[in-house]
Amino acid sequence: MSPGREFDIVLFGATGFTGALTAEYLAANAPHGCRWAIAGRNKDKLSAIRDRLAEIDPALAELPLLLADVTDPGSLRGVATRSRVVVTTVGPYLNYGEPLVAACAEAGSDYLDLSGEPEFVDQMYLKYHAVAQESGARLVHSAGFDSIPYDLGAYFTVGQLPEGVPIRLQGFVSASGTPSAGTYHSAITAFSRLREMAKTSAQRRRVETRPEGRKVRGSKGKPRFEKLVGAWVLPAPTIDPLVVLRSARALARYGPDFSYGHYIAIKRLPIALGIVGGLGALLVLAQLPPARNWLLGRKSSGEGPDEQRRARSWFRVRFVAESGDKRVLTEVRGGDPGYGETAKMLAESALCLAFDDVPPVAGQITTAVAMGDALLTRLGRAGIEFRVVE
C-alpha cells in the first residue's frame, strides 16, 4: 500500500443506500485525523450526503467530494492515486466493478467491495491479481455480510483448535433481515450466467496455485435435520464457502487436511421447502430475458428498510469444528445483516487496512488473509460477537 497519499480512505458510491450507511458509520467512528472523502458521479447527491454527515460531525461540512464515474476510467484512476484505501458499494460489480479494481491494482491502492458475485471475483483474479502483487495493492472482495462472518468465523474457530491437525468445519447460517438491492441484483445476474460463471471458475483453477503438502476441499453435504443446531440445513452454494476455502489454502494454520461445508439453517421444514422452491423458480426465470428484467425491476438501488426494521433484524452463524476426538462449537452474531452490519463490516475493514498492523501481503486476498486478528478485534469492539459456545 502506497504511503504519502492525500486521503486515507475514499468511499465510492456514498449516495446509494448501503453507501450512505457506510459513510454515516465512518462519520461516527473514524479516528481523529482520518483523512477521508466520498466519491460519485453526481455532485448534488454527494453534497446532500455530506450535509447528513455534518449533522453527525460538524467538521464534515468540509468533507472533500470527488467526482468519479465507472464509465470514465480516468476519473477512477484519479481516485485510486489519491487514496491509500478505496471502498466501493457500486454494484452489481459484474456490471460496474472492473474499472475501479483495475485503477487500484495499477496504483497500488488497497481496494474493498461488497461483492457476492463469484464470476466477478474470479475475473478480477485472472486479470489483476498479478498486477496487484507487483504494485503492492490488496484487492479484498466480499467485505460485508458476504463473506466476513464466515471467513473470519472460520478463522476464529480454527484458532481454537490445536495446530497441525486435520479439521472438518461446518458453518450454519440463520438470519432475519432484508437482502440489499445490490445483493438481490447480483443474485439474479449470477443465476442468469451459470455457464459463464463455471467457465471463469475453471479458468481460475487452472492458474491458481495450491498449497503443497496440504489438502483443502469443500464438503458438499446434503439437506438434513442437524441436531447440533436444531434446524433443517440446506447447502448454500454462495460465494461464502469459496472465500473460506481460499483463506484455508493461503494460511497453513488451517492444518494439513481441511474441509468446509456451508449451510442455511431453517427451524421449520415448510419454510425450508419454500426456500428451495423459490430459489428454483428464480433460477428458471433468470434464464428468460423478459422475466429477468422484470425480476431486476422489483428492487431498485438506493432503496432499503427503515431504521426500525433494521433494528429488529439479526444474524447468527454457528460453526462446528471436529478435529480427531475434539469438537468445538463457536458462534458469530450481530444485527441487521443486509445493511447495518454490512456497512459496519465494510467501514471497519477500511479503517483496519488504513491504520492497523496487518500482514504484508498483496494481490487478490480474503479478509482473513488481509486483516485476520486485527479485523476480529475491531469487529468485536464494534458489537459483532465472535465467541466459543462449547
271-282 pLDDT tens trace:
777 776 777 776
pLDDT of residue 274: 77
The arithmetic mean of pLDDT across residues 156-175, rounded, is: 95
**pTM higher than 0.75 for the full model?**
yes
Distance of alpha carbon 139 from alpha carbon 103, whole angstroms:
11
**How many CA atoms, within 13 angstroms, populate the side-chain half-sphere of residue 232?**
13
Where does CATH 3.40.50.720 sit in the chain? 7-145+340-385
CATH topology of domain 7-145+340-385: Rossmann fold (3.40.50)
Mean pLDDT (the chain, rounded)? 91
**Rg from Cα positions in the chain:** 20
Where does CATH 3.30.360 sit in the chain? 148-337
pLDDT of residue 1: 47
Phi, psi of 300 (to 5 degrees): -105, 145
Question: Exposed (0-12), middle (13-18) or buried (19+): which is 106, by Cβ within 10 Å?
Answer: middle
CB atoms within 10 A of CB 333: 18
In tens, the pLDDT along 210-248 reads: 999 999 999 988 889 998 888 999 998 889 999 999 999
Instruction: Evaluate if residue 3 carries a pLDDT over 70.
Output: no
Q: Which three cell numbers stand for residue 26?
A: 465512518
Q: Which amino acid is at 367?
A: T
pLDDT of residue 233: 93
Distance of alpha carbon 94 from alpha carbon 201, whole angstroms:
14
CATH topology of domain 148-337: Dihydrodipicolinate Reductase; domain 2 (3.30.360)
pLDDT of residue 177: 67
Instruction: Evaluate if residue 98 carries a pLDDT over 50.
Output: yes
Q: Which three cell numbers stand for residue 190?
A: 449470477
The arithmetic mean of pLDDT across residues 326-355, rounded, is: 94
Whose CA is closest to 26, among 291, 337, 351, 364?
351
Q: Which residues of 63-97 are buried (b: 16+ CB within 10 A; e: fewer)?
A: bebbebbbeeeebbbbbbbbbbbbbbbbbbbbebb
Distance of alpha carbon 368 from alpha carbon 158, whole angstroms:
12
